[in-house]
Structures are given as structure tokens and as C-alpha cells.
Amino acid sequence: MASTRSALRFASLLCLVAVTAAFPSSSHSSASPAQRRDPSFSRQGCFVNKANSQRIHNTATVASNCMTVEGCAAHCSPYKYFGLEYGRECYCGDVEPTQLVADTGCSFPCSGNAAERCGADTRENAAYFGCFV
């Protein structure tokens, strides 16, 4: 049992290293000068990922086999919102999602942490960041 926990911790650490390497610091466009004062975020729910045939969050995207909510939040920190989709995809943007659906619509486990939920096909587990200057 202890060796299983150690192996899981080691695997989680490897995923964390892989996620850190996969999500280099991204620069935010000069069109939106907001700077994060507080890195915290709040989950908003499960949303349809498109509005008027356009992806809601499409400014900065990344996919990883070690995706976690925290990894996506770190990648998207220059933006107001982020969403996780299809278990391994992370989308960032400044547009607030509006088409809320039941939480059961975001049932895919995150590839880097099966205890977390990372959306589903055409559904984003979306969150927003707090405090902007």
C-alpha cells in the first residue's frame, strides 16, 4: 500500500514537471493590460464551449497528457477565464462563458489527475480568476 502511494506521488510529480514544461509563460496581448494581483480562481460550472459557432476561449490553448486544473490555471493566468475540455485540453480567454449546462456534462477526468474533472466533448469546465488591477 505504501509503495503504491509512493508510486502515485512519483507519477504525480512527473506530471507536474511535464505540465510545467508544457506551459511556458505566455505573454498576454497589449490590447488587454490587466495584470493579475491574486492568482486564485473560482470554478463557474460546466459550459457549452461555443457561442455563435465560435469557441468561447480561444486566445491561448494547450493540450497535455498530464493536464490538471492547476496546470491550466497557471497557463492561463494572464487571462480572465480558462476552461478545460476533453480531459486534456486547456483554453484561455477574456470572454465570459454564458451557456451553463448540468455539471454531469463535464464528466471527463483530467489526464493528469483523475480526481479532477476536465470538461467533455464540446463542454468546458470553466473558471475565472479573481482580482485584476
pLDDT at 113: 96
pLDDT at 13: 40
The average confidence (pLDDT) of the chain is 75
Listed range (20-29, 100-109, 119-128) with the worst mean pLDDT = 20-29
pLDDT at 59: 79
Higher pLDDT, 18 or 69: 69
Listed range (6-10, 64-68, 128-132) with the worst mean pLDDT = 6-10
Confidence of residue 17 (pLDDT cuts 50, 70, 90): very low
Q: Cβ of 127: how many Cβ atoms within 10 Å?
A: 20
Q: What angle do CA 58, 128, 115 make, to 5 degrees?
A: 95
Listed by start position, the domains of the chain span 40-133
**Distance separating alpha carbons of residues 124 and 57, to the nearest angstrom:** 9
Q: pTM above the 0.75 mark?
A: no
